[in-house]
Amino acid sequence: MGFLSEKKGVKAMRKAWLALVIGGVLAVWSAPASAVVLYNNGTPDYNNIYFSDIPDNGYEAYDYFTLGSASTITGIEWWGAYYGDNTPPAGGNVFDYEIQSNPGGNAQPSGEVDSDAGSLGSGSPVDTGTQVFPFGSYDLYEFNASTSISLPAGSYFLTIYGTIANPNNTYGWVTSDETETDAWSYYTPDASWAGPEANGLAFNLTSGGPVTGFVPEPATMTLLGLGLAGLVAKLSRRKSR
């Protein structure tokens, strides 16, 4: 009876290890990948503002980004400032965007390439404080937009501009700690370009997962490895008997 009980125990243990391995595989396969940063242009340093508000001042601020492979941008995060009364518009399509091709060599953007250019969706900027600039005190904001922009690999210019006419809430885009001279300004009334200027603008682009199948969590991979090691050990002992 003792031998039979031990044999049953080994079988039960083997089944438990097998279940653990299968569970680990399923957990890894079904685990959703977190957002992938496609392009990070730094965090805001608030040293300057590039106004980007067509209804109120006619300016658009541009900065470039590069994609190493064909990608779909699903999130745009940027930081800015607005001259106002601390009451940014609530709801509505506050911002629009455009993506232009980048010819390189510090040349100005050379034509829209994104057929889906338009609104970044409803929502409001989130106030993050105030900042005194040489030309006055401004309220600061952060904005996270969900979108879906599919582009091939290459270099592009991005502009984000305010769309709601309100002189008390003129929007701008603040500089980042990125030191490349890649910010541009476009004045719509006379179609004139200025730039590149010192410092980039604060923004990053992300893509939601899964992007290339799955991205396993480290803890799940550890669990899976332990399960496999245990199963191999059990099978090895069984063969040696």
91-115 tens-digit pLDDT = 556 888 999 998 888 788 878 887 6
Read off the tokens for 41. Answer: 């242009």
pLDDT of residue 11: 56
Cα dihedral 94, 101, 38, 206 in deg (nearest 10): 20
Question: In the chain, what are the domain boundaries?
Answer: 2-31+217-240, 36-207
Confidence at 117, pLDDT banded by 50, 70, 90? low
Number of CB atoms found within 10 A of residue 171's CB = 33
Those residues whose C-beta lies under 8 Å from the C-beta of residue 75, and which sit 6 or more positions away, are: 35, 144, 145, 146, 147, 205, 206, 207, 208
Residues in the chain: 241
The whole-angstrom separation of Cα 78 and Cα 183 is: 14
pLDDT of residue 110: 78
**Range of 67-71, 135-139, 196-200 with top mean pLDDT:** 67-71
Q: 36-207 has which CATH code? A: 2.60.120
User: Whole-prediction pTM value?
Assistant: 0.70
Strands 203-207 and 71-84: antiparallel
